[in-house]
Amino acid sequence: MRGAALPSFLLTTIIAISLFSAPALAADLPPGFVRLADVAPGIRQDMRYAGAHNFVGRPIAGYASPACWLRREVAQVLAAAARDFETRGWRLVVHDCYRPKRAVADFVAWAGDADDQGTKAEFYPRTAKSKLFALGYIARTSMHSKGIAVDVGAEQVDAAGQVVPLDFGGGFDLFDKVSWTASKAVSPAAAANRKALVAGFAAHGLVNYAREWWHFSLPGAAGAPAYDVVIREP
């Protein structure tokens, strides 16, 4: 009957159904985390694992959005380093930040599939896939899952605002000795750029992983917990 109040039990049922059928909201960040875009919007985000341009060749589990999440202290350190790099005309570019534990498991499963060699030409042309664990390119746990590690490079921006690529002697996630930070197989310009990147981050407490020129972490936060929260933005 029009205008009549609904019985309380029916109203409760309707509310419950509405809650369960509502679209899922963006996941809350893990405790102590921030979005890098809120702390350092000038850092460009090229989040490779949210797309197909990576060593697996598809979006990785846990990356529902191409967003950089980090522990607050790491984001603040990265922002401070970015300001220093800006004085030399460099803009930082992040490729991976917080990495859900399910993404690490996805990497491990991919590494164990000997038949999947679709990305070999670009990402591991001279390295046997079976040796990726032993050589330290793939691991079963990651500092990224704690939000204290970041994969980052840089590009140069001239006075006119034009972007000029910087030579680092090899691309992100190239599983090869040429990616080792101190590799002698790169050009003098690439070696100088790597040294500048390492020194610039070291001045703010970020430490480089010697086998990946792009990987930096904040060792003082190593005791932080790892998380498996899906990266999902509104």
Catalytic residue among 73, 122, 155, 212: 212
What does the angle CA 227 – CA 229 – CA 234 come to, to the nearest 5 degrees? 145
- Burial readout 198-213 (b: 16 or more C-beta within 10 A, e: otherwise): bebbeebbbebbebbb
Selection from 63, 94, 60, 62 nearest residue 78 by Cα:
94
> Of 58, 158, 150, nearest to 109 (Cα)?
58
Active site residue 86: no
In angstroms, how far is CA 18 from the centroid of its own chain?
35
Q: Which tokens belong to 206?
A: 């970020």
Residue 104 burial class via C-beta count within 10 angstroms: exposed 0-12, middle 13-18, buried 19 and up? buried
Rounded Cα distance, 35 and 95, in Å: 14
Q: Which residues are catalytic?
A: 212
